[in-house]
Amino acid sequence: MAGTPPKVVVVLPTYNERENISRIVPALFDLAIPNFHLLIVDDNSPDGTGQAAEELGREAAYRGKIKVLHREQKQGLGPAYIQGFKRALSLGADLVMQMDADLSHQPKYIPKLLETARRFDIVIGSRYTSGGSVDEGWGPLRKLLSWWANRVYTPIILNLPIRDATGGFRVYQRDCLIGMNLNKVKANGYVFMVELAFVAHQLGYRIGEVPIHFPDRQHGDSKMSSAIAFEAALRVWQIKLRHRALKPSDRRANDYDD
């Protein structure tokens, strides 16, 4: 129907985020964005996050706007997002957003991300583009490693023209997610973000960045560790070898069926 706003589906992966979803869900819907939906992808959280999400979905304010995808066990961030993206596409999403549940991705930036998505195939909420920033409490080493990974290491190896390749606060156009062929994305953990960005760039999709401030999570424990960061650095080379031959003509046809 002419004038119908695009359907926005936010994919929110969770593992032991029961306390956080009780905060982020109201914050998301308080934005009052038309045709806005939430898909919570829970990895069988021991703290009952999945059940809490189901209870939220039954509340009158959110009825019909929240769906919960229950996975049998914790299998990693990449597979959780891929399964969530596929479900969002099957639900008819025009725009698919990914973000963390821990409030380090602040909902206040969502309107700007969606507005910018009118001009790009992917929009990244960026800590390292002009105007972006990270938590003031980060130590010097953490700041240096994150800056170096995003502004030096990854861009040089992959020739990526973006400043926050590991950023996980993003909006994707439907056609872009389909064209990338998610079945060929293999990375797990935080390097999954790098692989998606590289595949999109190789296929000729337009990538934009919106500056954000990135605070530390307010509740719960971070999943990031030095071992994860080191592994991600090594896997950047695997991503280059896996996808270096991709070109725009390799985009998957826009006939989504899985």
* Contact present, 234 and 155 (Cβ < 8 Å): no
- List the end-to-end C-alpha distance of the chain, in Å, as a whole number: 25
Query: Which of 29-43, 136-150, 164-178 is predicted with the least confidence, judged by mean pLDDT?
Result: 136-150
pLDDT band for position 74 (50/70/90)? Answer: confident
Q: pLDDT tens digits for 209-218?
A: 999 999 976 5
Measured from the Cβ of residue 91, the count of other Cβ atoms closer than 10 Å reads 13
212 vs 223: which has the higher pLDDT: 212
Predicted pLDDT of residue 189: 77
Predicted pLDDT of residue 163: 95
Mean pLDDT (whole number) for 197-206: 98
The two structure tokens encoding residue 137: 């409490």
DSSP classification of residue 203:
T
Average pLDDT, the chain: 91
Three-state DSSP at 202 gives helix
Residue 44 has pLDDT above 60, yes or no: yes
Mean pLDDT (whole number) for 216-235: 60
* Contact present, 13 and 43 (Cβ < 8 Å): yes
Mean pLDDT (whole number) for 229-250: 87
d(CA 209, CA 183): 25
Mean pLDDT (whole number) for 24-32: 97
The rounded Cα 36 to chain-centroid distance in angstroms is 16
Predicted pLDDT of residue 110: 98
pLDDT band for position 247 (50/70/90)? Answer: very high
Residue 235 has pLDDT above 50, yes or no: yes
Mean pLDDT (whole number) for 129-157: 92
Residue 203 has pLDDT above 70, yes or no: yes
Predicted pLDDT of residue 1: 47
Closest CA to 188 of 222, 223, 162: 223
Predicted pLDDT of residue 3: 78
Residue 160 has pLDDT above 80, yes or no: yes
